[in-house]
Structure 1
């Protein structure tokens, strides 16, 4: 069994976390991941109201007695959601782990800490990870350029970002972006992380509440089948390659502004992709790890396979490696 500082501090069996994903982080998926020994995450803002989030938390608890968390993503907005009310719904629901992404977690930390909640903060740079550690979060999720969603503006891939962050971070840290199998898990541990966070991989599982055609498209896609949108706006996002994302990139290259793509990138259109299976209805997040995904397993099978193969790699191939001259021979 893989025991790390992350599993010890956050009280989970395996160092594998399901990332909070808009429209996908629902009770069925989060509970399946947690029941299999990982850390499932319910996406707070997928629920339309704080009251609905309370119900989703209760529904998750009906499906598993294992630890699970709730994601709260804080983004600038003209009409921001009632974050304080969503936060209170999390506290009232007895959730003990919160993943915060986007904005500074300091605003929410006193309330969450007083409720005995451990906070995992998602960062895309060493600078922000260090700041989050300083303000008192319990763990860091460091997000490399390969990830789905927002990778930040530094374009630093995990192979560099993870060890750079590990040099500065003293609290448990998990690695995000590009992880889909046991090889990635072992690599993350070798680079200084204490586990991995996976979004796209868990999107493509039996319990994922998205249309089957979306899962089949992820299996069919390669690592090349993503687009980077909002590059010209300083808010880069990695999404699946489709007619809409290609059109957004074209408009940006022609000098377009956010107003010119607003209708194309509307969240309601992305939700339609996941719920109706219309792959060109809108933009939808997917990472480069699509190229490593070749099946649609249950969460239990995926996690068991990853842990088993990671242990085999560590105790087999890597243990038996011998230094031969300037290289390492298996």
Structure 2
């Protein structure tokens, strides 16, 4: 199953277009993952959005009823005192017949034996070349490399994609997805030019018709620009890029003034961020969004979006780049 921009990633993972909807807490649900996959990309259900492994099994089944195309499950590995029951989530993924997993956060190695045993292909999301090389050594099938522009956790090195992506692709032999700041066909062409085998988008897919978040959030993304984010948790060495709002600015000021995590714990509670997406109150809590919001000005269906991205990318490659080369 190939499309006009088939790459190693598209061929290995069985999708028409080298475009992935990355895992997003409270956003990566069946309706969005199915819409992306049906449109030729690779959709992802976010495992930890589901409160229990049993709920994840039901969500996977719901996705299967919405699409007959490949989709995956994101499993974010959190370094917490009371971790989720990862062994149970892994078992559900395997027993449900899912064959693609996106891991993120900590080292995926402890989770790989079961996935490997059952033929699950693994994409590991990371924010540095050194972590990508380690992921390759432990046997993942592809990596998604996040530049500093991304939503969520960009790491602590502050390396933008224009440098990070070619630095990674020069040293890795497995397929690489470029992530952070991608929203259109221009970005896809740029990623391919930098050596990547596709792109991983989060913020752009948040702002689609099938995205299961409140319309007020989608309108805020459309109205926002590339300056409308805040970097929180910098002093805690756990930097996160989130939307600029009353809560995130308060968090920044508290930590800048010498505060510690207990001083902000109530402000950054996940339940508050969930209320943003469900109720549309943009100041209810912190919520992730990337600098790519500055490139977003509409709320298309996933099918319209992927068709537009691929069409634009092909046009750039076949017409504009060739024409300019010929003129030069």
Shorter-chain TM band: over 0.9
Cα RMSD, aligned residues only? 0.8
- Residue 323 of structure 1 deviates from its aligned partner by 7.5
Give 1:261's match in structure 2, choosing from 260, 264, 276: 264
**Separation in 1, partners of 2:317, 2:200:** 19
SS of the residue corresponding to residue 72 of structure 1 reads strand
Q: Which residue of 1 aligns with 2:23?
A: 20
Give 1:252's match in structure 2, choosing from 251, 255, 277: 255
Alignment of 1:92 onto 2:98: no
**Following TM superposition, where does structure 1 have runs of at least 4 consecutive aligned residues deviating by more than 4 angstroms?**
none
**Separation in 1, partners of 2:98, 2:219:** 33
TM-score (norm 1): 0.98
Alignment of 1:37 onto 2:40: yes
Q: Which residue of 2 aligns with 1:170?
A: 173
**Separation in 2, partners of 1:7, 1:117:** 16
Residues 210-229 of structure 1 aligned to structure 2 (within 5 Å): 210-229=213-232
**Separation in 2, partners of 1:297, 1:82:** 36
Give 1:276's match in structure 2, choosing from 273, 276, 279: 279
- Residue 3 of structure 1 deviates from its aligned partner by 0.4
SS of the residue corresponding to residue 5 of structure 2 reads coil
Alignment of 1:124 onto 2:127: yes
Q: Which residue of 2 aligns with 1:153?
A: 156
Alignment of 1:298 onto 2:327: no
SS of the residue corresponding to residue 108 of structure 1 reads helix
Q: Which residue of 2 aligns with 1:55?
A: 58
> What 5-or-longer segments of structure 1 have no aligned partner?
none
**Separation in 1, partners of 2:326, 2:238:** 44
- Residue 75 of structure 1 deviates from its aligned partner by 1.1
Cα displacement string for residues 107-140 of structure 1 (whole angstroms, at most 9, x for unaligned residues): 0111001111000000100000000000000000
**Separation in 2, partners of 1:265, 1:168:** 37
Give 1:8's match in structure 2, choosing from 1, 7, 11: 11
**Separation in 2, partners of 1:184, 1:322:** 20
Q: Which residue of 2 aligns with 1:239?
A: 242
Q: Which residue of 1 aligns with 2:212?
A: 209
SS of the residue corresponding to residue 323 of structure 2 reads coil
Q: Which residue of 1 aligns with 2:116?
A: 113
- Residue 322 of structure 1 deviates from its aligned partner by 2.7
**Separation in 1, partners of 2:322, 2:290:** 31
**Separation in 2, partners of 1:183, 1:36:** 19
**Separation in 1, partners of 2:325, 2:162:** 23
SS of the residue corresponding to residue 196 of structure 2 reads coil
Matched length: 325
**Separation in 2, partners of 1:154, 1:86:** 31
- Residue 229 of structure 1 deviates from its aligned partner by 0.1
Cα displacement string for residues 43-73 of structure 1 (whole angstroms, at most 9, x for unaligned residues): 0000000000000000000000100000000
- Residue 303 of structure 1 deviates from its aligned partner by 0.2
**Separation in 2, partners of 1:323, 1:303:** 29
Cα displacement string for residues 51-105 of structure 1 (whole angstroms, at most 9, x for unaligned residues): 0000000000000010000000001111110001001110011001000000111
Greater shift, 191-200 or 314-323, is seen at 314-323
> What 5-or-longer segments of structure 2 have no aligned partner?
none
**Separation in 2, partners of 1:322, 1:235:** 44
**Separation in 2, partners of 1:93, 1:220:** 39
Alignment of 1:321 onto 2:320: no
**Separation in 2, partners of 1:172, 1:34:** 19
**Separation in 2, partners of 1:61, 1:84:** 23
**Separation in 1, partners of 2:264, 2:326:** 54
